[in-house]
Amino acid sequence: MRELSIRDALNEALDEEMTRDDRVFLMGEEVGHYNGAYKVSRGLLDKFGERRVIDTPISETGFAGVGVGAAVAGLRPVIEFMTWNFSLIAIDQVINSAAKVLYMSNGILECPVVFRGPSGSVHQLAAQHSQSLESLYAHCPGLKVITPSNSYDAKGLLKSAIRDPNPICFMESEAMYGVKGEVPEGEYLIPIGLADVKRAGTDVTLICWGKTVPVCLAAAEELATKGIHAEVVDIRTVRPLDEKTLFDSILKTNKVLIVEEAWPVASVGSWISSRIAVELFDYLDAPPLVQSGRDCPYPYAKNLEVFMRPRVETVIQDVMRLV
């Protein structure tokens, strides 16, 4: 099977959906003539023209609002934030407009808009450009939140997101755009709200998403040399959450570690942990553990940044505590 980078898989998904449906258009900063800040939209302007690949001013509130209005009017906008950190400027449009249109119109108006772009830390981008904000948007009913971890998932989930009638926050890992993975020829879709067992195991369940998936897979490889077989479950969609796949895994292993890059307070990991504790209390051999990023703003210094997020060795340490 051919291998594509996550960047190219996303580009292919956009190309296919824009070809399939002329209501789909892309809007954001530098998406057109510059081919995208991370080259995800490379070549799309040449193919589809300036009416469907639209460069915007540096005004997230403005172009996010245009996207919401266009979606309500019957189009299928894909709104690119150069980074999800910048989405905070447009959060009113995302949470108070897009997420509430269906409910406040009594089900009459849909808002099929995809807000997408890179999320999380990269390399020395410091406190204002390194945040993982999935819990903030997952907190809001009316939004779906997707966090792909590889090329195959990125393409299939983005295509499904563009076809979905609901507003979606599609959060890609900025640090993983160049990571390659197998992507089949031809069209395929991945259902939104379906987790994926990336590695089978019997001794402990590792729940992860986005950038922490390869960390957990590497940790599982190392743990196997110690006779500990970890099952790695990639939730893929933060909201809606596929509790069945998570619970089925934990019923098999009876132990669970949730690994996330975001801050620990009111995080997705803490929410998943609470659901596990309530629903599976009698089946757990140990309390569910959550390994999050450090509870402070991201430092600029390279030697400090490495200690901010989960690493293979810290995942192994927590697994050893559980087993």
134 is catalytic: no
User: Within 176-310, where are the H helices?
Assistant: 212-224, 243-253, 268-279, 302-305
Residue 57, CA distances (Å) to 37, 96, 162 in order: 14, 22, 23
60 is catalytic: yes
Distance CA 209, CA 237 (A): 8
Query: Nearest CA to 102 among 130, 142, 59, 68?
Result: 142
Which residue do the tokens 């755009």 mark?
177
Both structure tokens of 306? 């490495």
CB 134 within 8 A of CB 268: yes
Distance (Å, whole) CA 197 – CA 205: 10
- Sole residue written with tokens 């005004």: 59
- Of 17, 129, 231, 260, which is the active-site residue? 129
What does the CA dihedral 233, 238, 240, 243 come to, rounded to 10 degrees? 30
Taking each helix axis as running N to C, give the angle between helix 151-163 and helix 6-20, from 0 to 180 degrees, rounded to the nearest 10: 30
First to last CA, the chain: 37
Which residues, other chains included, contact 156 with Cβ-Cβ below 8 Å and sequence gap of 6+?
Answer: 13, 188, 189, 190
What's the angle, vertex CA 63, arms to CA 57 and CA 64, rounded to 5?
145
List the catalytic residue out of 60, 134, 172, 231: 60
Bridge partners, 119 (sequence order) = 173
Cα distances from 79 to residues 54, 111, 301, in angstroms, run: 10, 13, 32
Active site residues: 60, 129
